[in-house]
Structure 1
Amino acid sequence: MTPASVDSRPRVAPGFRLQWEPAQECHVLLYPEGMVKLNRSAGEILSRCDGARNVAEIVSQLEEAFRAIDLQDDVLAFLAIAQQQRWVELE
C-alpha cells in the first residue's frame, strides 16, 4: 500500500458510503456489515475525498474552513489510518 502524499487524490473506497446522519449529528461511513461513526475531523476530511481533489487541495480547504494552519501532517496521518481500514483508495 502506497502512503498518501500531497499529490494523491483520495476517494471513499467502493463498498463504503459516506453520509451525514442527522439523528447522530455526525458523518457516518456505511458498509454492508455495518457503520462507522466518524468524529468531526474525520467526517470533514472524508467528505472532501472525492478522487478529484488532491491532498494539498483538501488541506487548503480545511485550513480555510476552520481558520487553521499546518493541518497537512494530521490529514496525512488520518489518511494512513483510513487506508489501513480500507475506507479510502488513492488515485
Structure 2
Amino acid sequence: MVLAATGVPKFARGVRLRHDEARGQWVLLAPERVLHPDPVAVEILKRVDGERDIAAIVDDLASAFAVDRARIETDVDAFLGGLSEKGLVEVAS
C-alpha cells in the first residue's frame, strides 16, 4: 500500500504506544494485541501524533538520523502501510 505524503497518520481507536517500564522496552498496545516494535519502528511511531503528515515525519527522521530521505520515505511508507492494513493506524487525506 502506497500512502500519500500528505496523509496524516494517527493510531486507530484503542491503539497506543507505551513504554513498558518493567521490561524496559516500547510496546504498541492494541485491543487483544501487544506488539514489540524494533527501535526503528519506535522512532516512526513516536512521530505518529495525528497532526504531522507523512512527509513531515520523513523529514524529521532524515534530519535526526542523517540517512538518505528516499530510503526513509520508502521504509516509513511500507511500515505505516502495513499498520494501516492491519487496522492499527488510520491515515487521513
Q: When the two structures are aligned, how many residues end up with a matched partner?
A: 90
Query: What is the root-mean-square deviation of aligned Cα atoms in Å?
Result: 1.5
Give matches, 1:1-91, under 5 Å. Answer: 3-70=2-69, 71-91=72-92
Percent sequence identity over aligned pairs: 36
Give the drift of 1:50: 0.9
Give me the whole-angstrom Cα distance separating, in 1, the residues matched to 2:48 and 2:26.
Answer: 13
Please say which of residues 20-29 and 71-80 is displaced more in the overlay.
20-29
Counterpart residue identity of residue 16, structure 2: R
Structure with the higher helix share, 1 or 2: 2
* Residue deviations 1:38-71 (CA, integer Å, cap 9, x gap): 1111111111111100000000111111111121
User: Which consecutive residues of structure 2, in runs of 5 or more, have no partner in the other structure?
Assistant: none
* Residue deviations 1:7-44 (CA, integer Å, cap 9, x gap): 00001111111112234333211123131111111111
Give me the whole-angstrom Cα distance separating, in 1, the residues matched to 2:86 and 2:24.
Answer: 23
The SS at the match of 2:35 is strand
Give the drift of 1:83: 0.7
The SS at the match of 2:3 is coil
User: Which consecutive residues of structure 1, in runs of 5 or more, have no partner in the other structure?
Assistant: none
